[in-house]
Amino acid sequence: MFYSSILLHSSAILSGLLFRLTNDTNVLELNKRPKEGLLLMVYLSVFSFVAAILYFYVGFNAFKLNRKSKLCRLFFVLTLSMTIWSFAEGFLYLAKNVYEYFFWNKIAAFGWCTFEAFILYFMLVLTGNRYIRHWYIKLLVMLPAVISLYMVLFLFRPDLTTNYIIKAIFNIGNFIYNSTYLVLSILMIFLWVTGLAAGFRRNKLISL
């Protein structure tokens, strides 16, 4: 499971980069081009669908191996968020208008808004961090995901002119949320594997 989590983490970063490089304007403009733009979007769509199937397959198999394990259940939830993200992106890349794009972006938000929180929570449990036992730590870990998802679902619509201040708050806040959680997750893996810090205990893992 440890190596699977590393692989999923890396692939999620790649998916995130593709998602950010192809924003709503780029997707819609490329889809209007007769050949090269549409072909690129088809490739990205196929890549997303294949990734969604792989994410679900890995997560579901981990869950079946040990359904009573909290770690396996968290890993399954983590892969589900990535499955939703990639599956919705597959349709997002083929959007023909701004309404289709916003619809699939909101579906994908259940994945890309929550993934960072799920991966950090998973790493805290994986490394046996003592702070995750407290309910308020769990709340703090998940709070940015809830705020980010709320803003995407209710404050951004094609028929709504969102205030530029709200856009700025979301963009800056989402960047801080993503980058901070990503760095913390990688740092915890490094400290856990190398044993350089106290407070990290090794859990018995299931290799996939």
Cα separation, 149 vs 83, in Å, equals: 16
Assess if residue 208 is contained within a domain: no
pLDDT at 2: 45
Token code pair at residue 141: 């870990």
Assess if residue 203 is contained within a domain: no
Residue 65 domain boundaries:
2-194
In eight-state DSSP terms, residue 95 is -
For residue 114, count CB atoms less than 10 angstroms from its CB and return exposed for 0-12, middle for 13-18, buried for 19 or more: buried
Assess if residue 34 is contained within a domain: yes
Low-confidence stretches of the chain (pLDDT < 50) are 2-3, 5-7, 9, 13, 17, 21, 25, 204-208
Cα separation, 51 vs 166, in Å, equals: 32
Assess if residue 206 is contained within a domain: no
Cα separation, 38 vs 109, in Å, equals: 23
Q: How far out from the chain centre does Cα 146 lie?
A: 13
Assess if residue 179 is contained within a domain: yes
* Amino acid making up residue 10: S
pLDDT for 148-183, tens place per residue? 999 999 999 888 888 899 999 999 999 999 999 989
- Spatial contact of 181 and 145, defined as CB atoms under 8 Å apart: no
- Spatial contact of 156 and 162, defined as CB atoms under 8 Å apart: yes
pLDDT at 36: 57
Helices (DSSP H) in 2-97: which residue ranges? 2-21, 24-32, 36-65, 70-92
Quote the number of domains for the chain: 1
Cα separation, 44 vs 90, in Å, equals: 7
pLDDT at 11: 52
Cα separation, 41 vs 19, in Å, equals: 11
Assess if residue 205 is contained within a domain: no
In eight-state DSSP terms, residue 156 is -
Kindly report the CA angle at 23 between 19 and 29, in degrees rounded to 5?
Answer: 125
Assess if residue 110 is contained within a domain: yes
Cα separation, 75 vs 66, in Å, equals: 11
Assess if residue 54 is contained within a domain: yes
